Amino acid sequence: DQQVKQNSPSLSVQEGRISILNCDYTNSMFDYFLWYKKYPAEGPTFLISISSIKDKNEDGRFTVFLNKSAKHLSLHIVPSQPGDSAVYFCAASGARTGANNLFFGTGTRLTVIP
């Protein structure tokens, strides 16, 4: 049962434009959401997170938006750069669920075209 879903396996964007990566979740008990970036042959790297008490969190070129009613979050990258080309994983956590782990989506491969 995939509780965190990333329905777009891949996304291509021109350099300088906005990249929008989407993520849906099914468990309303999740209260913390994270985005990780992964380059080939490396482990995932933490990028940005958001608590369920917020609807937006910004860090430089990266902004995460959370829509709790729709159980949807998105990662915006503006402007996109070729170095942003990687696989992006959405993850969710919920101490209230009693689970002590992160639930990951299957990832979206972002390609930024110079």
Partner 1 sequence: DSGVTQTPKHLITATGQRVTLRCSPRSGDLSVYWYQQSLDQGLQFLIQYYNGEERAKGNILERFSAQQFPDLHSELNLSSLELGDSALYFCASSLGTVPYEQYFGPGTRLTVT
Minimum distance, C-beta of residue 21 to partner 1, in the bound complex (Å): 14
101: tokens are 């782990």
Comparing CB distances to partner 1, the nearer of 9 and 16 is 9
Stretch 16-35 residues interacting with partner 1 (CB under 8 A): 32, 34
What distance in Å separates the CA atoms of residue 5 and residue 14, rounded to the nearest whole number? Answer: 25
Residue 56 has a CB neighbour count (10 Å cut-off) of: 10
Site string for partner 1, 33-62 (x = CB under 8 A): -x-x----xxxxxx--x-------------
SS3 content of the chain, % helix, strand, coil (to 5): 5, 55, 40
What distance in Å separates the CA atoms of residue 100 and residue 102, rounded to the nearest whole number? Answer: 7
Comparing CB distances to partner 1, the nearer of 80 and 102 is 102
Binding residues (CB under 8 A) for partner 1: these are 2, 4, 6, 9, 32, 34, 36, 41-46, 49, 89, 93, 95, 99-107
